Chains A and B, each alone.
Chain A
Amino acid sequence: MSFYDKYKDYKNFNFGDYFASVSDEYILRIIDKDRISELEFLALLSDKASKHLEAMAQKSKRLTLQHFGKVIFLYTPIYVANYCVNQCVYCGFNISKDIVRKKLTLEEVEKEARTISGTGLRHILLLTGESRVHSSVEYIKECIMILKQYFRSISIEVYPLETNEYEELVKAGVDGLTMYQEVYNEEVYGELHLKGPKRNYRFRLDAPERACVARMRSVNVGALLGLDDWRKEAFYTGLHADYLQNNYADTEISVSLPRMRPHGGEFQPKVKVDDRSLVQIMLAFRLFMPRAGITVSTRECAHFRDNLIGLGVTKMSAGSSTEVGGHVLSSKSEGQFDISDKRSVEEMKNLIYSKGYQPVFKDWQAI
Chain B
Amino acid sequence: MNDNFIIGGKEVSSRLFIGTGKFQDNRIIPEVVKSSGAQVVTIALRRIDFDSEEENMLSYIPEDCIIMPNTSGARNADEAVRIARLARATGCGNWIKIEVVSDNKYLLPDNFETIKATEILSNEGFVVLPYMSPDLMAAKMLKKAGAAAVMPLGAPIGTNKGLKTKELVKILIDEIDLPIIVDAGLGKPSEAAEAMEMGASAVLVNTAIATAGDPVRMGEAFGYAVLAGRKAFLSGTGVVKDFAEASSPLTGFLA
Contacts and interface: CB of A to CB of B under 8 A. Distances in A.
B210 A360 contact: no
A120 interface: yes
Contact of B24 (A122, A358, A367): A358
A63 to B, nearest CB: 10
A253 B86 CA distance: 26
A contacts with B: majority SS = loop
A70 B210 contact: yes
B21 A120 contact: no
Given A364-B73, A365-B46, A250 B103 contact: yes
B242 to A, nearest CB: 32
Interface stretch (B8-16, B47-55, B144-152): B47-55
A251 B26 CA distance: 28
A357 B75 contact: no
A362 interface: yes
Given A250-B75, A361-B55, A367-B79, A69 B21 contact: yes
A66 B104 contact: no
Interface string A346-361: 0000000100111011
Nearest to A361: B55
Interface residues on B, range: 35 or more
B45 interface: yes
Contact of A251 (B22, B25, B86, B104): B104
Given A66-B207, A69-B207, A250 B158 contact: no
Nearest to A120: B52
Interface residues of A, number: 30
A249 B101 CA distance: 9
B55 A358 contact: no
A358 B25 contact: yes
A274 to B, nearest CB: 30
Interface string A184-222: 000000000000000000000000000000000100000
Interface in B184-238: 207, 210-211
A363 interface: yes
A246 B76 CA distance: 18
B107 interface: yes
B159 interface: yes
Interface string A54-69: 0000000000011111
A359 to B, nearest CB: 9
A67 B79 CA distance: 23
Top 7 A-B pairs, shortest CB-CB distance: A69-B22, A70-B24, A250-B102, A362-B49, A250-B75, A367-B82, A249-B103
Interface of B: 21-26, 45-49, 51-52, 54-55, 73, 75-76, 79, 82-83, 86, 101-107, 158-160, 207, 210-211
8 contacts: A70-B23, A217-B75, A249-B102, A249-B103, A291-B105, A363-B46, A364-B46, A365-B48
